[in-house]
Amino acid sequence: MTTMRFFMIGSWTEGMFHFQKLMPFIVSYEPATIQATAYRLPVGFPVITEEKTATIHGQMIELNADSTLLALMDTLHGVKAADPTKGLHFRTQAEVTKRSGQTDMAEVYFYNPKKLTSKAAVIANGLWKESLEEEQPLPMQLSEKQKTYVLKLGAVKGRDIVPINDLTLYRELMKLELIVDKGRRLALSSLGKEVYNHLV
């Protein structure tokens, strides 16, 4: 097991969902910044790209990371080690400024710009926290009934059918663009799959 430093934003920072999962492995963490560009994805979560247009506030997290934890974090970020150009993120070392003003190198998950869609919006001045306060990510906006159906549909194997007997629920999910109607069966849309990945 080796100690590694990561620069994180969004759900990987203190008090957020993924941060709680990292707690047993955290050695230390502190506020830090990086020069990058922040985007809000259609699913509602922030990501950063390497283009240096703003000062992005996040956290420097020092972890006791073994190969299993690193592989899990890479998988959750959609890193494709064999061909980084095909992944959602790529992990690389970049210069990060700590609260003290000192700089240090840390592992950073940068979003692959080729994967940005026209619905991804640049977050002005990199203020991703304020963006999340203004509007919660889509998975957090869903009702329990909507979440339950998305989870059921996402867990389907092959061409199994998950019936939807609630017309209101059907209309809500269609309006949110989380499902597509393939005639005899429903399936998750691309956005629906992203939401599913954040719910499981």
Spell out the residues 6+ positions from residue 135 whose beta carbon is closer than 8 angstroms to its own: 44
Burial degree of 96 (CB within 10 A; 0-12, 13-18, 19+)? buried
Q: How far apart are CA 89 and CA 73, in angstroms?
A: 11
Q: Judging by DSSP bridges, how do beta strands 2-8 and 103-111 pair with one another? A: parallel
At 8, is the pLDDT very low, low, confident or very high (cuts 50, 70, 90)? very high
Burial degree of 80 (CB within 10 A; 0-12, 13-18, 19+)? middle
List, by residue range, all CATH 1.10.10.10 domains of the chain.
139-199
Q: How far apart are CA 189 and CA 39, in angstroms?
A: 21
Q: How far apart are CA 120 and CA 42, in angstroms?
A: 6
At 74, is the pLDDT very low, low, confident or very high (cuts 50, 70, 90)? very high
Q: Judging by DSSP bridges, how do beta strands 121-122 and 26-40 pair with one another? A: antiparallel
Task: Please check whether residue 97 is in contact with residue 34, taking contact to mean a CB–CB distance below 8 angstroms.
Answer: yes
List, by residue range, all CATH 3.10.490.10 domains of the chain.
2-134
pLDDT at 188 over 80: yes
The fourth-level CATH superfamily of domain 2-134 is Gamma-glutamyl cyclotransferase-like (3.10.490.10)
pLDDT, residue 185, reads: 85
Place of tokens 């992944």: 87
Among candidates 94, 68, 89, which has minimal Cα distance to 79?
89
pLDDT at 184 over 80: no
Chain centroid offset of residue 153 CA: 20
At 52, is the pLDDT very low, low, confident or very high (cuts 50, 70, 90)? very high
| Domain topology for 139-199 | Arc Repressor Mutant, subunit A (1.10.10)
Strand partners, 46: 40
pLDDT at 149 over 90: yes
pLDDT, residue 21, reads: 85
The percentage of residues in the chain with a pLDDT greater than 90, rounded to a whole number, is 68
At 76, is the pLDDT very low, low, confident or very high (cuts 50, 70, 90)? confident
Chain centroid offset of residue 155 CA: 20
pLDDT at 16 over 90: no
pLDDT at 186 over 80: yes
Task: Please check whether residue 106 is in contact with residue 6, taking contact to mean a CB–CB distance below 8 angstroms.
Answer: yes
Among candidates 8, 21, 81, which has minimal Cα distance to 48?
8
At 147, is the pLDDT very low, low, confident or very high (cuts 50, 70, 90)? very high
| Average pLDDT rounded to a whole number, residues 109-124 | 94
pLDDT, residue 91, reads: 95
